[in-house]
């Protein structure tokens, strides 16, 4: 990768990580904090305040993705970060759960994932794009692990209002990064490609199903895993970061060789299908672990490591493939549909995972995950190996 590609990918991945921080940093502590707010005794409203961020993301991804094709990536990303900061400050000042929910909705409306991933696609050559997207995928896993470590300490130090305010300030700093640090690159302006053309593209829809399934499983798994980890290891939840952080970091190192092989040897489909197969083995392993009356926490840690290896490979590969398959002047729209499905997966993972755990049993979450993974494996088995497009990055043109 050239220095310009590394600079663009790293700086844009940091902006993406900031958006995920707004989601993950609140999760470990908000349910406790809600009891201090007006309306905090309403569990449904508390859950809505947590989930509305992802719901707003789902509605905002496509319009802002299309807008980035028409008006340019940087203006749309800056607009999204302004909304993110505004929502953070509203939530920081809130004295009721309803106002926190409103602030979270405004935060989520700054749905810039599609614009960021399209910008990365504009900024990198095909042969390096998956590595660039791996930075984004790694940022999601790393942000999740860091949030588990930082959230309780930050809550004790600066409170919930301080956490929201901090994310707002970071969003404003992110605007400076976008304007002055991220290199400007050429892009193909939209010529009016219709969304229906994207929805009719079978290869894109395979990937859209994949990202929905992947993030549904991500959230559903972590509805169950913390309690199982406590049961098997006796480790209190405040110390679970000692497991999650090393696992996420090690998984990122393990996933790099397969990514390099897929890029260098043109084995994208083979690595992709292998990662989905590994995901299926994780679901089966988790189900077997929960079905047994006894188990060892080391087995759970190894299954988590395998999950994050598969997750990181798929999280890096899929947006890269979307950017290659989509029409050159509609990458933002295609990635808008893709990120909409990602956000819906996050919402459905919490909804279905929680319902199954409560009404059927914790192991049923992994039965659902296995069934979904089998369907994904069948769908992905017919995908085509995508050829690289020749592309030259010219950092002198402005987006």
pLDDT in tens, the chain (399 residues): 677 777 877 788 888 787 777 677 877 677 667 778 888 777 667 767 777 887 888 888 888 888 887 888 899 999 999 999 999 999 999 989 889 889 989 988 888 887 887 788 777 776 676 677 767 766 776 777 777 778 777 888 888 899 899 889 988 988 998 888 887 776 655 555 566 777 788 888 889 999 999 988 887 887 778 778 878 878 776 677 788 788 888 888 898 888 777 767 777 788 889 999 999 999 999 998 887 755 678 888 999 999 989 988 888 788 778 877 877 767 777 877 888 888 888 778 877 887 788 788 888 889 999 999 999 999 988 877 665 544 433 333 333
How far is Cα 34 from Cα 96, in angstroms, rounded to an integer?
A: 8
248: nearest Cα among 305, 311, 315: 305
The predicted pLDDT at position 6 comes to: 78
Task: State how far the Cα of 11 lies from the Cα of 3, in Å rounded to an integer.
Answer: 12
Tokens of 330: 């509609």
**Percent above pLDDT 70 for the chain:** 86
CA dist 205 and 67 (Å) reads 21
The whole-number pLDDT of residue 391 equals: 43
Token pair in block for residue 199: 């929805």
Q: For residue 38, what are the β-bridge partners?
A: 96
Q: What is the pLDDT of residue 396?
A: 35
SS3 96: strand
Q: What structural domains does the chain harbor?
A: 3-380 (1.20.1250.20)
Taken in order 39, 40, 42, 44, the sign of the CA dihedral is positive
d(CA 38, CA 52): 18
Q: What does the pLDDT read at residue 130?
A: 66
**Would you state the pLDDT for residue 394?**
39
Indicate the pTM of the whole model: 0.74
> SS3 sequence, 31-67?
HHHHHHCECCCCHHHHHHHHHHHHHHHHHHHHHHHHH
Under 8 Å between Cβ of 278 and 306: yes
- Rounded to an integer, what distance in angstroms lies between the CA atom of residue 64 and that of residue 81? 12
**pLDDT at position 28:** 65
User: Are the beta carbons of 152 and 239 closer than 8 angstroms?
Assistant: no
Please state, as a whole number, how many other Cβ atoms lie within 10 Å of the Cβ of residue 227: 12
**Displacement of CA 214 from its chain's centroid (Å):** 10
Please count the other Cβ atoms lying within 10 Å of the Cβ belonging to residue 239. 13
Give Cβ neighbours of residue 317 (< 8 Å, ≥ 6 apart).
130, 133, 259, 262, 268, 271, 272, 275
**Could you tell me how many residues make up the chain?**
399
Cβ proximity of 105 and 140 under 8 Å: no
């Amino acid at each position: 990768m050239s220095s310009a590609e590394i600079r663009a990918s790293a700086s844009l991945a940091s902006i993406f990580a900031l958006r995920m921080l707004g989601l993950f940093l609140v999760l470990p502590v908000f349910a406790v904090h809600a009891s201090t707010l007006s309306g905090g005794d309403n569990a449904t409203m508390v859950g809505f305040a947590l989930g509305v961020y992802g719901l707003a993301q789902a509605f905002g991804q496509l319009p802002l993705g299309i807008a980035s094709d028409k008006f340019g990536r940087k203006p749309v990303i800056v607009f999204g970060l302004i909304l993110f900061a505004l929502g953070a400050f509203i939530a920081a000042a809130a004295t009721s759960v309803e106002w926190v929910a409103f602030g979270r909705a405004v935060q989520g409306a700054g749905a810039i994932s599609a614009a960021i991933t399209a910008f990365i696609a504009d900024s990198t050559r095909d042969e390096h794009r998956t590595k660039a997207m791996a930075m984004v995928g790694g940022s999601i896993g790393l942000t999740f692990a860091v949030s588990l470590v930082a959230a309780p300490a930050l809550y004790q130090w600066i409170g919930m209002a301080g956490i929201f305010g901090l994310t707002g300030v970071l969003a404003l700093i992110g605007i400076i990064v976008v304007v002055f640090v991220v290199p400007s690159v050429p892009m193909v302006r939209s010529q009016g490609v219709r969304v229906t053309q994207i929805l009719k593209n079978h290869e894109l829809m395979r990937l859209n199903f994949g990202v929905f399934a992947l993030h549904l499983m991500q959230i559903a798994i972590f509805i169950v895993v913390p309690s199982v980890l406590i049961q098997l290891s006796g480790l209190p939840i405040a110390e679970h970061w000692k497991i999650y952080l090393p696992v996420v970091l090690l998984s990122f190192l393990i996933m790099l060789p397969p990514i390099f092989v897929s890029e260098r040897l043109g084995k994208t489909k083979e690595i992709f299908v292998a990662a989905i197969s590994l995901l299926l083995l994780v679901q089966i392993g988790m189900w077997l672990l929960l079905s047994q009356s006894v188990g060892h926490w080391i087995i759970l840690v190894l299954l988590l490591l395998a999950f994050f290896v598969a997750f990181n490979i798929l999280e890096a590969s899929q947006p890269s493939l979307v950017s290659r398959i989509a029409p050159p002047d509609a990458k933002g729209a295609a990635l808008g549909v893709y990120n909409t499905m990602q956000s819906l997966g996050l919402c459905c993972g919490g909804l279905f995972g929680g319902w199954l755990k409560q009404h059927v049993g914790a192991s049923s979450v992994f039965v659902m995950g296995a069934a979904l993974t089998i369907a994904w494996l069948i769908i992905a088995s017919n995908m085509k190996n995508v050829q690289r497009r020749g592309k030259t990055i010219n950092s002198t043109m402005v987006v």
